[in-house]
Structure 1
Amino acid sequence: MNIQQLEYIVALDKLKNFSKAAESCFITQATLSTMIKKLEKELDLTIFDRKTNPIITTDCGLEIIEEAKKALFHIHKLKDLSAEVKGKIEGELRIGVIPTVASNLLHRFIPKYVAKYKKLTVTIEEITTPLIVEKLKKGQLDAGIVSTPLKVDELEEDLLYYEKLLVYGKLNQEKLKFLQPKDISTEKIWLMEEENCITDQIMNVCSLKDKSSNSNLHFQPNSLNSLLNMVDNLNGITLIPELYYLDLPKKQKKLVKDFVSPYPVREISLVYHRPYAKLRLIASLKNEIISTIKPILDSHSLKNHEMIIAKM
């Protein structure tokens, strides 16, 4: 039994076709068939029912496949660890990023990051915080970029930056140049879909109890762009993160107002499962984000007593 045979049976189980599995493993179909037969003979059981089309994995085979996947996971983990010990930034780094961060963060540092580490393959998924946590625990992601604190026992949280939450829209109190969170409690406030972390943070920091923005319209968008379109056309206000503000056109920036100190901010962190082998890769990601993002944020110069961290 060898590593290649485990990879072959996992590929065949996934693709249900000898030709496609052989192609994915970069070998001939004859070689794939021979190696799998040898493994079945060694284990003294049939892993695949070859009489059907597509091929079916037997009940015994399914258990073998699951163990093979676990073995391959740990083998790849050992290879990653070897590269880490040697100080190399190479291999694969799988990252999950929440949508309200992804659209305004990734384009600022990813081009330079992948150019710097040409032997590192970076895979990015734009998904929600609960999915990121789930995938981290299952080993399907190496790191997540989320709004914290999460307070999940199995996860480490490394702070990346704080970004201000700013008011966007036409206030009834137009003469107010700077605001306190309580000043917007009487405004018509548009928020994103329920259970979105930024919605919960806005509710908490502004002490809001009623999420409704209109008596006869209930709309909860899942993107900041949709949210601003509603504000622009139906009036009212919302809160936006600082990085999102930096990407707005000049016309929309004129509709943004800041709070007074202490400023509401949200905390953005890099989260990962512990203990984990890719710490060097994760550290390189953290350093790249911090060096790129912190200097462009107003919150970079704020002291702790000048900020209120929006809780979820």
Structure 2
Amino acid sequence: MNIHQLEYILAVDQFKSFSKAADYCHVTQATLSAMVKKLEEQLDIVIFDRKANPIVVTENGREILIQAQQVVAHAHALLASSKSIQNKIEGRVKLGIIPTVANSLMPIILKPILEKYPQLVLEIYEVTTSQLMKNLREGKLDLGILSTPIATGDLETTLLYEEPLHVYGYLENGNKSIRMEELSKQRIFLLQEGHCLRDQIIEWCDLKKSKHLPANLIFESNTFDTLINLVDEFQGMTLLPALYLRHLNEYRQSQILTMEGGDISREVSLCFYRPYAKWNIVKQFSQDIAQLVAKHLNKNSVQ
């Protein structure tokens, strides 16, 4: 038994296909199939039901996969520790990020980081906050980027940046400023339930009931683009992160309202699970991302 065999069965479970798993692991399908079969013989357990399409995991196989995930994660952490001692940033890193951060952050940081660390292979997954935290605990992700604080004690975070939120929308008589306490009286368009930013905005703006849609319309959005389109069509308001504003055209930039009597911002942090943490990468990524974002926040701040 070796680490490669465990990586192979995890890949088969992920892709539900021996051929796709072989491509992912950069081996031939025959090699991967033989190694998986050998592992099953060594353990005297059938891990996969090969007659099913797509391939499914047997009941006993599921227990093996749970243990394999932990062993592989610890092996990768051990390798990362050796790289940390040598001060190297290389190898494969699985990064999860919530959608409301990914759309504006990824274009800023990806190219500079990949150019700075050519031996680094980044796997990036857009997932919800709850799924991101679950995957970190299970060793399926090495790092996560999300909005904090989070209600958990077993995951650790390091602050990357604080991002102001700006009001986009329309006021009567063409006014371009609004007091913070007046937001609770407005028609506010929000992301659908499950997005942490939605919950934060409801708390910050003291929204008592859902009145952001017409009575005969039920709509849940996953994107800021859709929220803006709804605001343009039905009037009302929404709140947008500062980094997202760089995507707006000149007209929509003019619809950003000045907030009086207070500011609203969110924390964006790097999150990791201590048993699997790749410490050198955590430290270096934190510094790199914070520096890259600071330039854009200063450049794109709304006056």
> TM-score normalized by structure 2?
0.82
CA distance in 1, matches of 2:182, 2:32: 72
> Residue 265 of structure 1 aligns with which residue?
265
Pair 1:265–1:32, CA change in 2 (3 A)? closer
Q: Which amino acid is the alignment partner of residue 27 of structure 2?
A: F
SS at match of 2:158: strand
Matched residue, 1:26: 27
Question: Against the structure 1 CA distance between its residues 38 and 142, is the aligned structure 2 distance closer, same or farther, given a 3 Å change threshold?
Answer: closer
Q: After superposition, where does 1:108-127 map in structure 2 within 5 Å?
A: 108-127=108-127
Percent identity over paired residues: 36
| Aligned: 1:203 with 2:193 | no
In 2, the alpha carbon distance for the partners of 1:61 and 1:223 equals 38
The farther-off stretch of 192-201 and 96-105 is 192-201
SS at match of 2:118: coil
1:196 to 1:164, Cα distance in 2 relative to 1, 3 A: same
TM-fit CA distance, 1:140 = 0.9
1:87-136, Cα deviation, whole Å (9 max, x unpaired): 11011221111111111111011101011101111111111111111111
Q: Which runs of 5+ in 1 are unaligned?
A: 302-312
SS in 2 for 1:159: strand
**Map 1:29-68 → 2, pairs under 5 A:** 29=30, 33=34, 37=38, 40=41, 45=44, 47=46, 64=64, 66-68=66-68
SS of equivalent residue, structure 2 residue 137: helix
Write the mapping of 1:59-208 to structure 2, written as runs, cut at 5 A: 64=64, 66-172=66-172, 174-175=174-175, 177-208=176-207
Give the 3-state SS of the residue equivalent to 1:185 in structure 2: helix
Q: Is the 8 A contact 2:69 2:138 kept in 1?
A: no
Q: Higher mean Cα deviation, 257-266 or 132-141?
A: 257-266
The within-5 A match list for 1:225-304 is 225-297=225-297
Separation in 2 of the partners of 1:286 and 1:121?
17
Change in 2 beyond 3 A, CA 1:273/1:202: same
Shift in CA distance, 112/220, structure 1 to aligned 2, threshold 3 Å:
same
Is the Cα–Cα contact under 8 Å of residues 11 and 25 in structure 1 kept in the other structure?
A: no
110-119 vs 79-88, greater mean Cα deviation: 79-88
List per-residue Cα deviations over 1:48-76 (Å, max 9, x = no partner): 79996889987766655554444333223
Note closer, same or farther for the CA distance 1:133–1:8 as it changes in structure 2 (3 Å cut): closer
Q: How big is each residue's C-alpha offset from its partner over 1:256-292, in whole Å with a ceiling of 9 and x where there is no partner?
A: 1121353111111111112444011122211111111
- 1:203 Cα deviation after fit: 1.4
Give CA deviations for 1:9-29 in whole Å, capped at 9, x if unaligned: 666777898888777563684
- Give yes or no for contact 2:48–2:57 (8 Å, CA) kept in 1: yes
User: Following the alignment from structure 1 to structure 2, what is the Cα–Cα distance between the partners of residues 245 and 284?
Assistant: 27
Conserved 8 A contact 1:96-1:127:
yes
Supply the RMSD in Å over aligned alpha carbons: 3.5
CA deviation after TM superposition for structure 1 residue 82, in Å: 1.4
The aligned residue for residue 217 of structure 1 is 217
Query: Match of 1:207, as an amino acid?
Result: D
Larger radius of gyration: 1
Judge conservation of contact 1:191–1:211 (CA < 8 Å) in 2. Answer: no
Q: Structure 1 residues 235, 80: CA separation in 2 closer, same or farther (over 3 Å shift)?
A: same
Worse overlay, 20-29 or 74-83:
20-29
* Distance in 1 separating the partners of 2:126 and 2:165: 21
Q: 1:262 to 1:58 in 2, by over 3 A?
A: closer
Check conservation: 1:47, 1:64, Cα contact below 8 A.
no
SS at match of 2:174: coil
Task: Give 5+ residue unaligned stretches, structure 2.
Answer: none
- Going from structure 1 to structure 2, the CA distance change for 1:231 and 1:273 (only over 3 Å counts) comes to same
Helix, strand or coil: the match of 2:268? Answer: strand
